[in-house]
Amino acid sequence: MDTPRDPFHDGERAVQAQAGMQARMAEVGPRAIRDHMPDQHRDFFALLPFLVIGSVDADGQPWASVLSGPPGFVQSPDPRTLQVAARAHPDSPLAAHLRVGAPLGLLGIQPHTRRRNRMNGTVVRAGEAGFDVEVEQSFGNCPKYIRTREAFYFGDDEPVAPAQPLAALDDAARALIARADTLFIASAHAAGVDVSHRGGEPGFVTVGPDDVLTLPDYVGNFFFNTLGNLLLEPRAGLLFIDFDSGDLLQVSGHAQIVWEDEALAAHPGAQRLLTIAVTGALRVPGGLPLQWQMTDP
């Protein structure tokens, strides 16, 4: 009988061990993380009006981005392929990264139903109309900490506003982060890229002196994909969405995992903290042509 495939890398296994979960994840991981998409995942992606993507730039810095389109702009013609009919903002790190052979982390999330599925893979086709990704890992995530708001795509025929590079966070960026209840975090390792959702009460991310962000890490699925990546490669990319204006804020930074600290007391329920020293940011005014409606608070 074949030995079950271990889907985790050294960083993930190290964090699992520190959390006392390595033996359990060695049992669960091969069953939960597949090398193909089950039909329910394939159907789910086709329902979505937006898709969150993790990529890296030429220097290896991870970035979290988002693409949007009418439901159906993401399709899966077979269990090993996801097709995305959308183009990245021309000023974005994602646009420069979309080439054959590039690793991507993809997150499909439907906040109003609290469903989310992850897929990591490699670009096998890239063109003006979109790109195709070959599946390497596919798995579901638990629904915890997802704020239930529904997204509606309205399209946008207006010219795309130029992205605004920020050497440091300005007052508007700090204000968006300080009131956020949702963010997405991209991280990387030698073999690929991941992108994940994080959520909490508004203000769960704090902005400290010198633009150091503190992000609580709550109980999740114990895979520790993000933390495992950051243990090996501490650079991270964050994405914040202004759900009123559609503005996007992409943040790059260096992350550190804090296991035991007095600061944990200020974040009820947090198992660990991530501190992220901001190294740069990119604002895209009106970059997401979606309207949002809160459902169950």
pLDDT tens track for 239-290: 999 999 999 999 999 999 998 877 788 888 888 999 999 999 999 999 999 9
**Confidence tier at 191 by pLDDT (50, 70, 90):** confident
Q: Which helix (H) or strand (E) holds 206?
A: strand 206-207
Give residues with Cβ within 8 angstroms of 56, minimum separation 6: 62, 63, 93, 97, 103, 188, 193
Longest dimension (CA), the chain: 59
CA distance 12 to 145: 22
- C-alpha closest to that of 119 among 48, 24, 14: 48
> What pLDDT is stored for residue 156 in this prediction?
67
Convert the pLDDT of each residue in 208-247 to its tens digit: 999 999 999 888 788 899 999 999 999 999 999 999 999 9
> What pLDDT is stored for residue 141 in this prediction?
83
- C-alpha closest to that of 141 among 171, 165, 174, 105: 105
Q: Per-residue pLDDT for 157 more than 70?
A: no
Helices (H) and strands (E) in the chain, counts: 6, 17
Q: Which residue has the tokens 């970059």?
A: 287
> What pLDDT is stored for residue 3 in this prediction?
46
> Which pTM value belongs to this model?
0.95
Q: Per-residue pLDDT for 194 more than 60?
A: yes
Convert the pLDDT of each residue in 82-121 to its tens digit: 999 999 999 999 999 999 999 999 999 999 999 999 999 9
> What is the overall mean pLDDT for the chain?
93
Q: Per-residue pLDDT for 1 more than 60?
A: no
